[in-house]
Structure 1
Amino acid sequence: VYTGNVTVTRDAGIKLADVPFSVTVWDFELPKAPSLRSAFHDYDAGYRRGAVSYYGYVPGGAQHLSLAKAMDEDLLAHRLMPESPFNVGFSIDSTGHIVPNPEGEAVLESWLARPEVSDYKLYFNTTSPFADPLGADRAGAINYLRDAYEWLSSRGFLNKVWLRQVDDPDTPAKFQLARDLADLIHQANPNYNAAVTAQFYKPGVASYLYGHLNILIMAGWSFDPVASAQRQAARNQIWSFNALAPGIENPSPFWQIDFPLLNFRIFPWINFRYGLTGLLYWTTAYWEEIQARGASPWTDPCSYRSGASCFNGDGMLVYPGKEVNYLIPQNAYGQASSASVYGPIPSLRLKALRDGMEDYELLALAASRDPSRAKQIVIQVACAGNPDPGNAAANCFHHWNQDPDGILQARAQLASIITAPR
């Protein structure tokens, strides 16, 4: 236990208060590699629509590249993964084969070798890098996927790799597309993990996706514990995702400014409760609607509007550094940041998410020592003490602990399990 005192002063050194503090340091470290996988900021992954446009940087220029690097690194610093890290991928020829590119491959290998990078979504979707992957470009798509698999597996990175081509299908045609693309991926190599965002209650999920997709990324507001357990027993990975505020009559931990910070922190706890292994969020710097109104994210919170509804702070976990003159210096991240650029200012919402990601590590460490006690603690926090009736309407995504002090007390209990003599 360390103790000290902080003196708060104002202009001219006038003292306002002395604030005593104590810090308890636990005798263990969190692993660098996050145990809870994640994928944030797939929308506008290159930051062109949001930050690049907001700052007036030239797309593809040195400032753009440096800004994208700074934004991706900021997510990593919060134990979260950029779903599509900018400028990190393969070069291919017209037949789909990977073209040797030592410089580009060195960037990719350096990124994937970092222990804090838990995930990498291989670039492949319905229109790029092939315009018609299920038709005229099928052979090229398979060549690309097979070459990428060989490259990634030979370097020991395959455990970090997955693919996602279709977002939340809601028609038979879109469900069929998600299924056909997953089958194409598995034709290239059956060991690939193909993912899709979806919602358990939609009929097409079971009839089209089960048995074809490896990772089912399910909305928290429509989560079904029974279906999740069944798919996990069938060796699917189940993740969760969040966006907007649907189903307000039966709320879940929505991620807007209007709601408590605990809503952000609690998501990893609920994930642990149900054995969910990943967390996805659509974007982190959605400033474009605010910019279109000639406003600033610092003073106008309405980041996303749908009809008369305003979703304050949705898709906006960072603020622009321009208004507060926060600059990332040149070469801050080596050659990838050759220009000085305005940096992202993390919101308290992003900090709360990082706290939740760290809480997940405490749960994982404690569960490795005392699984039953760790389960009791996670039920107390994630489910407000309710063991969970196990249905889609009354599960822990709708009945979660809303006492921040309860989380702090639970963390101390987890630490005592981790540090107890064996």
Structure 2
Amino acid sequence: MGVGWAWAVAAALSAAPGGVQVVSPLVKVRPDATPKGAKEARLSAARGECEGTQLVLPQGVTRVTMKPLALKGPGAPLTVDAWREAYLDVKTPSNGEGRTGPWPDALVPLSAPANPRHPTVVYVEVCVPAKQAPGTYTGSLSAAVDGKELPAVPFSVEVQPFELPATSSLPNSFGISLYSIAKGHGIPAESPEAKALLREYGKALLEHRVSAHGMGMDPPPVKFQDGRAVLDWTAYDAEMAPFLDGSVLPSGARFTTVDVRDNRKASTDAEKSAYYRAFQKHFADKGWKAQLFFYAKDEPKPADFPLVKAQSKRVRDAGADIPVLVTTSLNPALLGSVDILTPIINCFYPREGPQTCHHVANAATARTKLGSRAKVWWYQSCMAHGCTGGPPEDKALDKAYSDWASYMVDHPAPLNRAMGPLAFESGVDGELYFDTVFAYNTKKDVWTDLFEFGGNGDGTLFYPGTPAKLGGTEHQPVVSLRLKHIRDGLEDYEYLRLLTSLGDGAFAKAAAKRLAKSGYEISRDPAEWEAVRKEVTEHIVKRQSAEQAKRSGRRTSGGTP
């Protein structure tokens, strides 16, 4: 649960001239609301977890530099990474709880040109290796602005004696496309540079516990011989294998899910079924653990239901373990054709006022209507902030679209992060998100305008890091502050799941409820998130210690360990 301990977040006050404030990552620092924080950074992190905080520096700065820092403790030194927060000038609020003006989002290299009109905020992060020795690691962070040294910031990380899995325990799938990336960076999609860049984007997602669908988009070539589908896996494996065998990251993290790339050359029902069967067999032969799924018609209307049923029949006729995912609410007309039911988050929580979902049912209720193998995922859409563009004049309607967990730039950080605790509390089996680079396809400058589908940042969690924008010669993905919050929410999920596995599920459920009572009742208070994190951590350590003592007792008494 990625919030550090021990600093207080006060009311909106300007940072002291020349000073450095350490501020919770759950505060978005804006020009008119620069919070007063602490004078030292004290973080807590599990092994296998990344933990961040923010340094608020004096304003009016054009250049930030920071000396390399390795925190020393009982194990190998811990490396500290840092980025400067770049601001998006929001012109139209996502809804009534959004605001116009600059909002922090893109995390750019410290060397990138700065805008002196915006606050100077550095996002600092420590990623703890899975086998790191637990204990306290300390150091001193030294920064300079426009060549002037600032007071050093004491920095410590308490590495906890438990480990989070490298691969997310909550299956998920967020969209990304080679062709969108190439367009956003202004390079040919067929170039080696574009394919290398796609891998960097995929790595960035996986580093944040997110799996991707789409990727290179192109299906493996296929020929049909005697009713069999013969696929050429050369290009597909070159692209996807590192994400499926755990070799793309040092942690060994893998994608949790992979979409089947349909091939137009499979023209008949029999050919399509043979193609799907070959897809499943290839994954089985490779030993890849990711769950394949077939992404059927997105948000089908009643006129599309026959298509969905036909798609489902072809996949099932293949006799392979490939569930059919449909983004729809619990609709009786599609029962029997859906293996991964994926409604919008609004469909899980009843709410007074104008209705934003006509088939409201929680995950447990939905499962009783589905087949035994079916799963229930969810996803965010513009229904969580309003789809028409800006706050509606109808206050009741604006309320119906407000307060939901949200990935919008101009919404509070706890709303960006809440999907993880909500997934644990609700019992959903996974999360889908339609795209992470959608705005790359538009004619807009992504760095100045992310307003799509009525929200700022809907479908876009990256920025194109071109040499023209960042300097240097290399293209690179620039992750958003929102992607950090999404990762922290997925780490929250891991904490709560681990505590449950140690026999304290009741406390884990209560803790999740304190953070997010429902999809639209989410704590905005960073101090509450910190308090819950601290208590959950203490419960995990206590339960784990008791379990280890029990095992030790069995060994010393001659019992079976």
Same fold, judged at TM 0.5 (above): yes
Identify if the C-alpha distance between structure 1 residues 98 and 163 changes in structure 2 by more than 3 Å, giving closer, same or farther.
same
Identify if the C-alpha distance between structure 1 residues 326 and 315 changes in structure 2 by more than 3 Å, giving closer, same or farther.
farther
Deviations 1:333-368 (A, max 9, x none): xxxxxxx85111111011111111111111111110
Q: 1:404 is matched with which residue?
A: 526
Q: Is contact 2:348-2:361 (8 Å) kept?
A: no
Say which is worse superposed, 3-12 or 410-419, in terms of deviation.
3-12
Q: Is contact 1:149-1:189 (8 Å) kept?
A: no
1:355 and 2:504 aligned: no
Q: Is contact 1:326-1:343 (8 Å) kept?
A: no
Q: Is contact 2:197-2:476 (8 Å) kept?
A: yes
Identify if the C-alpha distance between structure 1 residues 4 and 159 changes in structure 2 by more than 3 Å, giving closer, same or farther.
closer
Q: How does 1:103-142 map to 2 (within 5 A)?
A: 104-105=236-237, 108-114=240-246, 115-124=253-262, 128-130=263-265, 132=267, 137-142=268-273
Q: 1:292 is matched with which residue?
A: 443
Identify if the C-alpha distance between structure 1 residues 112 and 6 changes in structure 2 by more than 3 Å, giving closer, same or farther.
closer
1:186 pairs with 316, 322, 329, which one? 316
Q: Is contact 1:51-1:287 (8 Å) kept?
A: no
RMSD of Structure 2 on Structure 1 (CA)? 2.5
Deviation at 1:40, TM superposition (A): 0.8
Q: 1:249 is matched with which residue?
A: 399
Runs of 5+ unmatched residues, structure 2: 1-135, 247-252, 350-359, 387-396, 548-561
1:20 pairs with 154, 163, 166, which one? 154
Q: 2:137 is matched with which residue?
A: 2
Deviation at 1:64, TM superposition (A): 2.0
Q: How does 1:141-290 map to 2 (within 5 A)?
A: 141-157=272-288, 160-170=291-301, 172-189=302-319, 191-200=321-330, 205-208=331-334, 210-224=335-349, 226-233=361-368, 234=370, 235=372, 236-244=374-382, 245-246=385-386, 248-250=398-400, 251=402, 252-288=404-440
Q: 1:35 is matched with which residue?
A: 169
1:374 and 2:508 aligned: yes
Matches of 2:181 and 2:232, distance apart in 1: 32
Matches of 1:99 and 1:4, distance apart in 2: 54
Report the residue type matching 1:120 in the other structure. Answer: V
Higher helix proportion = 1
Identify if the C-alpha distance between structure 1 residues 106 and 406 changes in structure 2 by more than 3 Å, giving closer, same or farther.
same
Q: Is contact 2:174-2:433 (8 Å) kept?
A: yes
Q: 2:102 is matched with which residue?
A: none
Q: 1:52 is matched with which residue?
A: 182
Q: Is contact 1:121-1:162 (8 Å) kept?
A: yes
Report the residue type matching 1:243 in the other structure. Answer: S
Q: Is contact 1:199-1:223 (8 Å) kept?
A: no
- 1:157 aligned counterpart, secondary structure: coil
1:313 and 2:313 aligned: no
Report the residue type matching 2:366 in the other structure. Answer: R
TM-score normalised according to structure 2 size: 0.62
- 2:484 aligned counterpart, secondary structure: helix
Deviation at 1:164, TM superposition (A): 0.9
- 2:229 aligned counterpart, secondary structure: coil
Deviations 1:107-131 (A, max 9, x none): 544432224221111112xxx4347
Matches of 2:168 and 2:184, distance apart in 1: 31
Q: Is contact 1:381-1:401 (8 Å) kept?
A: yes
Q: Is contact 1:63-1:341 (8 Å) kept?
A: no
Q: Is contact 2:405-2:417 (8 Å) kept?
A: no
Deviation at 1:97, TM superposition (A): 0.6
Higher strand proportion = 2
Say which is worse superposed, 267-276 or 186-195, in terms of deviation.
186-195
Identify if the C-alpha distance between structure 1 residues 281 and 147 changes in structure 2 by more than 3 Å, giving closer, same or farther.
same
Deviations 1:156-201 (A, max 9, x none): 336521111210112x22122212211221111163211111134x
Q: Is contact 1:88-1:108 (8 Å) kept?
A: no
Report the residue type matching 2:516 in the other structure. Answer: A
Report the residue type matching 1:113 in the other structure. Answer: D
Runs of 4 or more, structure 1, over 6 Å off, are none
Deviation at 1:94, TM superposition (A): 4.6
Identify if the C-alpha distance between structure 1 residues 231 and 190 changes in structure 2 by more than 3 Å, giving closer, same or farther.
farther
- 2:152 aligned counterpart, secondary structure: strand
User: Number of paired residues?
Assistant: 372
Identify if the C-alpha distance between structure 1 residues 107 and 53 changes in structure 2 by more than 3 Å, giving closer, same or farther.
closer
Q: Which structure has the larger Rg over C-alpha atoms?
A: 2
Deviation at 1:139, TM superposition (A): 1.2
Report the residue type matching 1:406 in the other structure. Answer: E
- 1:98 aligned counterpart, secondary structure: strand
- 2:457 aligned counterpart, secondary structure: coil
Deviation at 1:288, TM superposition (A): 4.1
- 1:65 aligned counterpart, secondary structure: helix
Percent of aligned positions that are identical: 24
Identify if the C-alpha distance between structure 1 residues 9 and 371 changes in structure 2 by more than 3 Å, giving closer, same or farther.
same
Matches of 1:349 and 1:326, distance apart in 2: 23
Identify if the C-alpha distance between structure 1 residues 52 and 238 changes in structure 2 by more than 3 Å, giving closer, same or farther.
same
Report the residue type matching 1:138 in the other structure. Answer: D
Deviation at 1:260, TM superposition (A): 0.9
Identify if the C-alpha distance between structure 1 residues 292 and 87 changes in structure 2 by more than 3 Å, giving closer, same or farther.
closer
